[in-house]
């Protein structure tokens, strides 16, 4: 049905976004297109919808049955976009009109695409809601009255309004919590069967897509490195690394990171784009671009495809037994929380962000706090930093009772804590150099100036950064490097506790395990206590000694990773573990 | 060259020329503008470029000396208004919500005051000296910018790098000096320029209405006397009322050009739209 042949897209600035991409989608087939930031996967979707920025050029062929999709003028898409190809946008909040009822938006879409009269269009709108498993009364509400998952369902209903042959969904589940993500993916699989609609699902989350897709295609640096049946094991080292970079719920399955960064495409020569980061790379890989060749039922662009060879990527350091043993039971914990709770009050309502949390973090220990957005896990970080005074309970950090301290004394406690925020882009002042950024806690704490250079280089070293970066500014660094600068900055003041609030969630999958490894080395090497706040249960399992599961502010389970996975408490923990298991895909690929 | 940059250069050149003329001009003149040197209502000549007023005083000299009054009050008002706006807006941005609420309601009140009538009343009751006029105008124009600066402080406060410094235990002063003020300070430039523009026009309006200081010449005073002494009924308005009018237009235009240029530099979204 959809055939893409040798599609090469060049942006107006001369940047080649994709190179010689070949894909097909049959009616009723789900093709998952996966890849990291900048791999060119969204560019493919834009090309299919005629949404490339003006001035871009596309060579090659993209056909939907008899219809040519390349070389159309911007006005020439009526009857195609929305009618024959439906679109599910990224982030359904922005895709819906906030001031109009769901029914109005659905009816409008139906009428635009089918030119139906109002009454039949209204009937069709209700029919669409039924198809996406939403109750009929959803039609009467406004988008803000719906949950994220419900909004995404409405967006899918809108995409189906024109009765399309092909549905293009760009990151359809990003930003939703795990349970909802699975529901949305189930819905898409169900629609594929009931409506016989072909689907192109684009996501950075390869394992999740493998669960519902028929075939999987993986892009790297603008080229298609592998496409093949979802049920079969992968052959390209990048695909296999991407799958292994997803933290498994089984602590014995290694969590892999891919060293290095995506090459700058303008400088890449004739070789394989992945060669610089590939553990299997031979000389031919650097010199000769691998052409797609059939391997079993897949097509792989690699000189040495293999589904069983050892990957030999660096794996995350797992919690060593010695780390647990070396905790001195007599020693005072770095963090001691007793019955900590916080209630946000506004004029109209009280929101319980945290309730009755007891927690201890010892030196050399990584404690994971797992929960979805709104579970109170970031509130906990703010309380530990003394930025938020809890409404109830006792907070003892680094031997000081935070609830009693104010002003200068409270700030003094912060000098002994390190904080790494989620967003490595906003948290670093854009005009400051790396050396300046890392020295900031020292300036704030009033450390004598002659001690700075030694402290800076030690912090950079511990965060896994080369010291020759000191003169660079944040915009010259990759996302992973920026986050390491943030970690180095947190370490500069020689803290006793590091609070990492979703420190990996904005990074590419391939760099996450590397950051986690760094945290593990810090815990083992210098006895740092780490509070690792995350929404990803797998990351917590792989990286932490202890896990606290938070749900709507309430600690619903505490224990070692093995306990939480093996014997989750009934209710939310059980749902979370089940959803995470499903999300991890049908089978973990053997990665040696 | 980008349009904004060109506008800024033209504006800066014009402003510099006007400022140099106002500072140095009076020393180069052979009269202080109060001596009777020519026939009343004398038309322009080679000696007297803009002729003379009803008392035979040199109008060109009055124009040059008047620049000091007009530009001086603009500078004074802009400085005062920017300072008040920065203090009030900045403190309101840092204060606890209840205190900020009170301050901002006061700002709303000032914004809601009927501008010109109040100004006329104040000028009439408090007297026409330079300081009083500047204070009155400044007291009325600070409110809008204060709101702008508070918004800037609040926006700066939510920045990631500021919050990160806060988590490091930075004091409020450190945050203000190192993280907030570099974000907020550039906002002061358009505030200053706009206050200067408003001040020139308002002061000229006051002077035209006869509420200015008759002993200190300004462009507004010139227009006022031209109007009162019947210049508007004869050709004399061409060299008596028109030149100070044009001078006001020129100054305000130059300030506006500089304002456009700074806004262009500060607001990247505007730059993209162009």
pLDDT at A456 over 60: yes
The stretch A145-164 carries a mean pLDDT of 89
Range scoring the smallest mean pLDDT among A328-342, A391-405, A560-574: A328-342
Residue B166 Cα, gap to closest chain A Cα (Å): 8
Instruction: Pick the residue of B157, B161, B170 with the most A CBs within 10 A to test the interface with A by mutation.
Output: B161
Residues B219 and A74: their CA atoms lie apart, in Å, by 57
Chain A residues whose beta carbon lies within 8 Å of the beta carbon of residue B164 = 419, 421, 427-428, 486, 489
pLDDT tens per residue across span A412-434: 888 888 999 888 888 888 888 88
Q: Do A414 and B163 touch (CB under 8 A)?
A: no
A198-203 vs A366-370, strand pairing mode: unpaired
Q: Nearest chain A Cα to B158, which residue? A: A426
Q: Which domains does chain A have, with CATH numbers?
A: 321-416+495-583 (3.40.50.300)
CB A381 within 8 A of CB B163: no
Residue B119 Cα, gap to closest chain A Cα (Å): 40
pLDDT tens per residue across span A274-295: 888 888 888 888 888 888 888 8
Chain B contact for A488 (CB, 8 A cutoff): no
Chain A contact for B177 (CB, 8 A cutoff): no
CA angle A85/A91/A93 to nearest 5° reads: 110
Residues A211 and A215: their CA atoms lie apart, in Å, by 10
Q: Do A423 and B167 touch (CB under 8 A)?
A: no
Q: What SS3 state is found at A19? A: strand
Burial class (CB in 10 A: 0-12, 13-18, 19+), A51: middle
Task: Tell me what pLDDT residue A265 has.
Answer: 66
Q: How many CB pairs under 8 A join A and B?
A: 56
CB A452 within 8 A of CB A440: no
* Structural element, H or E, at residue A85: strand A85-88
Chain B contact for A201 (CB, 8 A cutoff): no
The pTM for the full model equals: 0.79
Can you say whether residue A494 is alpha, beta or left, with left for phi > 0 and alpha for psi between -120 and 50 degrees?
left
Q: Do A440 and B168 touch (CB under 8 A)?
A: yes
Question: CA separation (Å) from B44 to A343, B58, B250?
Answer: 79, 10, 21
Q: What SS3 state is found at A295? A: strand
pLDDT at A190 over 70: yes
Residues A266 and A17: their CA atoms lie apart, in Å, by 11
Task: Tell me what pLDDT residue A277 has.
Answer: 85
Chain B contact for A554 (CB, 8 A cutoff): no
pLDDT tens per residue across span A354-368: 888 898 898 888 999
Q: Do B160 and A423 touch (CB under 8 A)?
A: yes
Q: Nearest chain A Cα to B161, which residue? A: A427
Higher pLDDT, A239 or B229: A239
> Which runs of E-coded beta strand occur in chain B?
none
pLDDT tens per residue across span B203-231: 888 888 877 777 778 888 888 877 777 77
Chain B residues whose beta carbon lies within 8 Å of the beta carbon of residue A446 = none
Residues A224 and A241: their CA atoms lie apart, in Å, by 15
Instruction: Tell me the pLDDT of chain A averaged across its residues.
Output: 85
Question: Above pLDDT 70, what percent of chain A?
Answer: 95
Q: Do A415 and B160 touch (CB under 8 A)?
A: no
Taking each helix axis from N to C terminus, what angle separates A452-462 and A509-526, rounded to the nearest 10 degrees? 120
Residue B83 Cα, gap to closest chain A Cα (Å): 27
Of A235, A244, A250, A253, the residue nearest A292 (C-alpha)? A235
B29: which residues sit within 8 A by CB, 6+ positions away? B58, B60, B61, B64, B65
Q: What SS3 state is found at B250? A: helix
Q: Which domains does chain B have, with CATH numbers?
A: 3-22+59-273 (1.10.3720.10)
The stretch A527-555 carries a mean pLDDT of 90
**Length in residues, chain B:** 274
Task: Tell me what pLDDT residue B270 has.
Answer: 47
pLDDT tens per residue across span A30-56: 999 998 887 888 889 888 888 888 888
Beta-bridged to residue B33, according to DSSP, are none
Residues A412 and B186: their CA atoms lie apart, in Å, by 32
Chain B contact for A419 (CB, 8 A cutoff): yes
Chain B contact for A415 (CB, 8 A cutoff): yes
Q: What is the dihedral of CA A358, A360, A366, A369, to 10 degrees?
A: 10
Q: Tokens 């803290």 appear where?
A: A495
The DSSP line for B125-169 is HH---HHHHHHHHHHHHSHHHHHHHHHHHHHHHTSHHHHHHHHTT
The stretch A151-173 carries a mean pLDDT of 90
Where does A4-136 have alpha helices with state H?
41-48, 92-95, 102-114, 118-131
Query: Which residue numbers in chain B have pLDDT < 70?
Result: 1-2, 33, 41, 56, 266-274
Burial class (CB in 10 A: 0-12, 13-18, 19+), A535: middle
**How do the residues of chain B divide into helix, strand and coil, expressed in percent and rounded to 5?**
75, 0, 20
pLDDT at A588 over 50: no
- SS3 sequence of A491-537: HHCCCCEEEEECCCCCCCHHHHHHHHHHHHHHHHHHCCEEEEEECCH
Taking each helix axis from N to C terminus, what angle separates A118-131 and A102-114, rounded to the nearest 10 degrees? 110
């Amino acid at each position: 049905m959809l055939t893409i042949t040798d599609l090469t897209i060049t942006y107006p600035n001369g940047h080649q976004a994709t190179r010689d991409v070949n894909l097909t989608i049959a009616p009723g087939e789900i093709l998952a297109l996966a890849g990291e930031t900048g791999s060119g996967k969204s560019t493919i979707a834009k090309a299919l919808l005629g949404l490339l920025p003006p001035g871009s050029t596309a060579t090659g062929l993209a056909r939907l049955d008899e219809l040519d999709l390349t070389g159309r003028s911007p006005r020439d898409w009526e009857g195609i976009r929305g009618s024959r190809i439906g679109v599910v946008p990224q982030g359904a909040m922005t895709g819906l009109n906030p001031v109009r009822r769901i029914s109005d938006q659905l009816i409008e879409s139906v009428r635009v695409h089918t030119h139906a009269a109002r009454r039949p269009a209204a009937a069709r709108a209700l029919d669409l809601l039924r198809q996406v498993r939403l109750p009929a009364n959803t039609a009467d509400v406004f988008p803000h009255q719906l949950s994220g998952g419900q909004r995404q369902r409405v967006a899918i209903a809108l995409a189906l309004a024109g009765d399309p042959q092909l549905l293009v969904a760009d990151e359809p589940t990003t930003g939703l919590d795990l349970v909802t993500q699975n529901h949305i993916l189930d819905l898409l699989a169900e629609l594929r069967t009931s409506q016989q609609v072909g689907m192109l699902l684009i996501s950075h989350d390869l394992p999740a897509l493998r669960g519902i897709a028929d075939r999987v295609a993986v892009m790297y640096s603008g080229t298609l490195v592998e496409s093949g049946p979802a049920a079969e094991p992968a052959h390209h080292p990048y695909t296999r690394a991407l799958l292994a970079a997803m933290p498994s719920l089984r602590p014995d399955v290694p969590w892999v990171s891919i060293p290095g960064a995506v090459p700058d495409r303008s400088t890449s020569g004739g070789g394989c784009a992945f060669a610089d980061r590939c553990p299997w790379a031979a000389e031919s890989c650097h010199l000769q671009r691998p052409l797609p060749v059939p391997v079993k039922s897949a097509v792989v662009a690699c000189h040495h495809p293999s589904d069983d060879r050892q990957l030999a990527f660096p794996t995350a350091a797992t919690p060593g037994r010695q780390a647990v043993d070396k905790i001195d039971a007599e020693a005072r914990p770095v963090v001691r929380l007793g019955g900590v709770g916080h209630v946000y009050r506004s004029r109209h309502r009280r929101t319980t962000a945290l309730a009755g949390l007891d927690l201890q973090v010892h030196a050399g220990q990584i404690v994971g706090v797992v929960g979805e957005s709104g579970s109170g896990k970031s509130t906990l970080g703010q309380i530990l930093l003394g930025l938020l005074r809890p409404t109830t309970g006792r907070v003892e950090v680094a031997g000081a009772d935070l609830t009693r301290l104010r002003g200068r004394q409270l700030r003094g406690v912060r000098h002994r804590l390190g904080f790494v925020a989620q967003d490595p882009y906003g948290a670093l002042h854009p005009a400051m150099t790396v050396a300046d950024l890392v020295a900031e806690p020292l300036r704030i704490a009033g450390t004598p100036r002659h001690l700075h250079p030694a402290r800076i280089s030690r912090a950079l070293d511990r965060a896994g950064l080369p010291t020759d970066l000191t003169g660079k500014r944040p915009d010259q660094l990759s996302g992973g490097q920026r986050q390491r600068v943030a970690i180095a900055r947190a370490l500069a003041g020689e803290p006793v506790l590091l609070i990492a609030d979703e420190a990996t969630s904005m990074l590419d999958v391939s760099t996450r395990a590397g950051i986690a490894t760094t945290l593990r080395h810090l815990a083992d090497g210098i006895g740092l206590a780490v509070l690792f706040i995350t929404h990803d249960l797998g990351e917590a399992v792989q990286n932490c000694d202890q896990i606290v599961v938070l749900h709507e502010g309430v600690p619903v389970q505490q224990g070692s990773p093995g306990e939480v996975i093996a014997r989750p408490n009934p209710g939310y923990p059980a749902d979370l573990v089940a959803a995470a298991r499903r999300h991890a895909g049908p089978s973990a690929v053997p990665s040696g | 060259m980008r349009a904004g940059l060109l506008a800024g250069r033209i504006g800066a050149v014009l402003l510099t020329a006007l400022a140099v003329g106002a500072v140095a001009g009076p020393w180069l003149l052979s009269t202080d503008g109060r001596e009777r040197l020519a026939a009343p209502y004398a038309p322009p000549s080679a000696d007297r470029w803009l002729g003379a007023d009803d008392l035979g005083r040199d109008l060109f000299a009055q124009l040059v000396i008047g620049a000091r009054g007009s530009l001086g009050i603009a500078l004074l008002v802009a400085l005062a208004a920017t300072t008040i706006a920065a203090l009030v807006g900045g403190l309101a941005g840092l204060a606890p919500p209840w205190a900020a609420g009170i301050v901002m309601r006061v700002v709303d009140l000032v914004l809601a005051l009927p501008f010109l009538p109040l100004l006329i009343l104040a000028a009439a009751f408090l007297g026409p000296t330079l300081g009083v006029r500047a204070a009155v105008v400044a007291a009325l124009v600070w409110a809008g910018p204060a709101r702008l600066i508070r918004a800037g402080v609040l926006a700066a406060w939510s920045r990631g790098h500021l919050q990160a410094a806060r988590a490091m235990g930075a004091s409020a002063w450190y945050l203000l000096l190192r993280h907030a003020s570099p974000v907020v300070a550039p906002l002061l430039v358009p505030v200053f320029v706009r206050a200067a523009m408003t001040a020139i026009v308002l002061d000229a309006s006051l002077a035209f209405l006869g509420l200015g200081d008759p002993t200190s010449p300004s462009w507004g005073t010139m227009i006022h006397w031209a109007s009162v002494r019947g210049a508007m009924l004869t050709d004399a308005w061409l060299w008596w009322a028109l030149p100070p009018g044009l001078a006001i237009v020129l100054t305000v235009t130059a300030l506006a050009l500089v304002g456009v240029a700074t806004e262009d530099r500060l607001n990247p979204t505007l730059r993209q739209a162009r």
